[in-house]
Amino acid sequence: MPADKPKASRHTEVERKFDVVETTVSPSFEGLAVVSRVQHTPSQTLEAVYYDTPNYDLAAKRITLRRRTGGADAGWHVKLPAGPDARTEVRAPLADSVPEDIRDVVAAIVRDRPLGAVARITTERTVSLLFGADDAPVAEFCDDQVTAAALRPDSEPQTWREWELELVEGAGSTDVLDRLSNRLFDAGAVPAGHGSKLARVLATAEPAADAVEPSDPVRRAVAANVEELVAWDRAVRADVYDSVHQMRVTTRKIRSLLADESFGLTGDTWVLDELKLLAGILGVARDAEVLAEKYEESLDALAPELVRGPVRERLVDGAKQRYVSGWRRSLHAMRSERYFRLLDALDELVAAPSPTAEKSGDESAAASLAAAYKKVRKAANQAEEDGTDESLHRIRKRAKRLRYTAAATGNSAVEAKAKTIQSLLGDHQDSVVSRTHLLEQADAAHAAGEDTFTYGLLYQKEVEVALQSENGIDEALAALKKAVKK
């Protein structure tokens, strides 16, 4: 395991909250097929101090960060939205200050702004553990008496009672949650008017449902991709499989869409340059990941007698080691002030009004699509003249930008044809990179006195991949041209 690998644990919570009054009688779960018995536990006192930036940046994203004592899971907790009724909880052991593993989870939101205590919440909790037909626990019913206060001069203490119904991780289903919730409704509960205890204390509002979105679909797509970038940032820090790839793709999407004239960045390329640099840093790990998977698959497909010498160690294990090195380099960049300023700049661009507001959404979309396709044609014409690997790679980059623009503007036909070109020439580029690397490794193996036969087999396979891609590009370009003209 890499030295930087997060030590915090992750859990998925599926729960619902309910508002009740002091006189509400606790529900009965008798007679339910999904509950065989109920085990009541002694009440416990949970003390929690919640942390956020001065502007409540975490609360605005419905994320909570707390230090809690009492109960079985005392420690530092970060809770992240994970869909209807679900949240991902990241836990770390108790410490006096916010652990680095925990801060890393929210770094793309907090950045280098200070974190401080914003609320204190005390919960007197009574838990009833609900067991299913197989006598395995399926859910917890919590009856909470809450005392809370925001840590600011104008705050008044608040008290209330609420119920929580949470499925045991790995057990139960939404159907079980629905059946149990009905018993709570029968007892007089209503769905909670807040997403979390902290939201109630701070009185933080959800984004307005009628908030005006940009009319330009490209600008809407940039906003959505910036949100995705923050989500993939967390995944990369946790070293989730394929996360480096997805963060790199998202970075490139943003850069491609920002190059649209509606953002007015023609004379100010700092953001575009920074996005290119970030994609390049992520690319070190991603390229190594691709090579490791490619070589492993290719070697597994060969007969054992054709795999000669320590070729697997050189190719597969070596690529995996380079992935770890590239991942650590990515983390270093993602913890830098430079990266945080890039995120700040992206937020500002998303929030800024469009300088081309006089155009309708349809007009802007058509102009963006036409400009992106023109660059594909220009790259294709140049490739016909020089026929180099680099010129083919340039077509791929232009087709990728067209694909992102088509996706943003809702043109699925052009998006699909551009994706075909991107995939074809992506295989070609992977072949170019792989062949270069195979030659380097074959030279190293030869110098070490090792058998290089297998390197030749793999090299020839990559040549065939490249030729197949080249043979399909003219037809793919013609299909794209037809889709654009429709």
Spatial distance between the Cα atoms of 457 and 449, rounded to a whole number of angstroms: 18
Q: At a CB cut-off of 8 Å and minimum separation 6, what does 314 contact?
A: 441, 444, 445
Examine residue 237 and state whether it is found in any structural domain, yes or no.
Answer: yes
Examine residue 25 and state whether it is found in any structural domain, yes or no.
Answer: yes
Specify whether 117 is located in the same domain as 72: yes
Q: Of 174, 202, 230, which residue constitutes the final position of a domain?
A: 202
Number of C-beta neighbours around residue 457 at 10 A: 16
> Which residues pair with residue 394 across a beta bridge?
none
In degrees, to the nearest 5, what angle opens at C-alpha 415 toward C-alphas 409 and 421? 145
Specify whether 17 is located in the same domain as 73: yes
Examine residue 209 and state whether it is found in any structural domain, yes or no.
Answer: no
Q: What is residue 362's predicted lDDT score, i.e. its pLDDT?
A: 64
Spatial distance between the Cα atoms of 46 and 54, rounded to a whole number of angstroms: 25
Q: What is residue 89's predicted lDDT score, i.e. its pLDDT?
A: 93
Q: Of 202, 225, 259, which residue constitutes the final position of a domain?
A: 202
DSSP string across 218-230 = HHHHHHHHHHHHH
Spatial distance between the Cα atoms of 177 and 138, rounded to a whole number of angstroms: 9
Torsion, CA 141, CA 146, CA 150, CA 154, rounded to 10: 140
Q: At a CB cut-off of 8 Å and minimum separation 6, what does 309 contact?
A: 445, 450, 451, 452, 453, 454
DSSP string across 178-220 = HHHHHHHHHTT-EE-SSSSHHHHHHTPPPPPTTPPPPS-HHHH
User: Which residue in the block uniquely carries the two structure tokens 């933080």?
Assistant: 204
Distances in whole angstroms, Cα of residue 29 to Cα of each of 226, 287, 475, 481 = 45, 55, 65, 64
Specify whether 347 is located in the same domain as 447: yes
Whether the Cβ atoms of residue 202 and residue 149 lie closer than 8 Å to each other: no
What is the token pair recorded at 404? 């992102």
Q: What is residue 297's predicted lDDT score, i.e. its pLDDT?
A: 95
Give the residues of the chain that fall short of pLDDT 70.
1-7, 172, 204-215, 261-268, 354-364
Q: Provide the CA 463 distance to its chain's centre, in angstroms.
A: 35
Residue ranges of the alpha helices (H) in 82-196?
100-105, 107-110, 174-186
Examine residue 442 and state whether it is found in any structural domain, yes or no.
Answer: yes
Whether the Cβ atoms of residue 165 and residue 177 lie closer than 8 Å to each other: yes
Q: What is residue 218's predicted lDDT score, i.e. its pLDDT?
A: 78
DSSP string across 315-331 = IIIHHHHHHHHHHHHHH
Q: What are the backbone dihedrals phi and psi of residue 121, each rounded to the nearest 5 degrees, phi first?
A: -130, 125
Whether the Cβ atoms of residue 106 and residue 237 lie closer than 8 Å to each other: no
User: Which residue in the block uniquely carries the two structure tokens 């690397």?
Assistant: 437
> pLDDT of 336-356, one tens digit each?
999 999 999 999 988 887 665
Q: What is residue 206's predicted lDDT score, i.e. its pLDDT?
A: 46
CATH of the domain at 175: 2.40.320.10
Spatial distance between the Cα atoms of 349 and 4, rounded to a whole number of angstroms: 32
Examine residue 3 and state whether it is found in any structural domain, yes or no.
Answer: no
Specify whether 171 is located in the same domain as 283: no
Q: What is residue 153's predicted lDDT score, i.e. its pLDDT?
A: 87
Q: Which domain holds residue 173?
A: 9-202
Number of C-beta neighbours around residue 366 at 10 A: 14
Distances in whole angstroms, Cα of residue 147 to Cα of each of 19, 56, 161 = 15, 21, 9
For the chain, the distance separating the N- and C-terminal CA atoms, rounded to the nearest angstrom, is: 52
Q: What is residue 361's predicted lDDT score, i.e. its pLDDT?
A: 55
Specify whether 297 is located in the same domain as 418: yes
| Total domains in the fold of the chain | 2
What is the token pair recorded at 132? 């299913």
Examine residue 210 and state whether it is found in any structural domain, yes or no.
Answer: no
Q: What is residue 201's predicted lDDT score, i.e. its pLDDT?
A: 92
Specify whether 226 is located in the same domain as 255: yes
What is the token pair recorded at 305? 């007698």
Q: What is residue 311's predicted lDDT score, i.e. its pLDDT?
A: 97
User: Which residue in the block uniquely carries the two structure tokens 């399909």?
Assistant: 472
Specify whether 242 is located in the same domain as 138: no
Q: What is the pTM of this model?
A: 0.84
CATH of the domain at 416: 1.40.20.10
Q: What is residue 208's predicted lDDT score, i.e. its pLDDT?
A: 41
Residue ranges of the alpha helices (H) in 211-355?
217-237, 243-258, 270-301, 311-312, 318-334, 337-351
Whether the Cβ atoms of residue 110 and residue 339 lie closer than 8 Å to each other: no
User: Which residue in the block uniquely carries the two structure tokens 């939201």?
Assistant: 199
What is the token pair recorded at 99? 């652990």
Whether the Cβ atoms of residue 91 and residue 77 lie closer than 8 Å to each other: yes
Spatial distance between the Cα atoms of 206 and 196, rounded to a whole number of angstroms: 12
DSSP string across 354-392 = PTTTTS-HHHHHHHHHHHHHHHHHHHHHHHHHH--HHHH
Specify whether 119 is located in the same domain as 228: no
Write out the H or E segment, with its range, that includes residue 403.
helix 389-409
Q: What is residue 442's predicted lDDT score, i.e. its pLDDT?
A: 97
Specify whether 398 is located in the same domain as 291: yes
Specify whether 196 is located in the same domain as 245: no
Specify whether 328 is located in the same domain as 188: no
Helix (H, G, I), strand (E, B) or coil at 90: strand
Buried b (16+ CB within 10 A) or exposed e, 258-286: bbbebbeeeeeeebbebbeebbebbbbbb
Examine residue 212 and state whether it is found in any structural domain, yes or no.
Answer: no
Spatial distance between the Cα atoms of 5 and 231, rounded to a whole number of angstroms: 18
Specify whether 330 is located in the same domain as 426: yes
Examine residue 2 and state whether it is found in any structural domain, yes or no.
Answer: no
Helix (H, G, I), strand (E, B) or coil at 474: helix
> pLDDT of 237-291, one tens digit each?
999 999 999 999 999 999 988 887 666 665 568 999 999 999 999 999 999 999 9
Torsion, CA 330, CA 335, CA 341, CA 345, rounded to 10: 60
Spatial distance between the Cα atoms of 50 and 79, rounded to a whole number of angstroms: 11
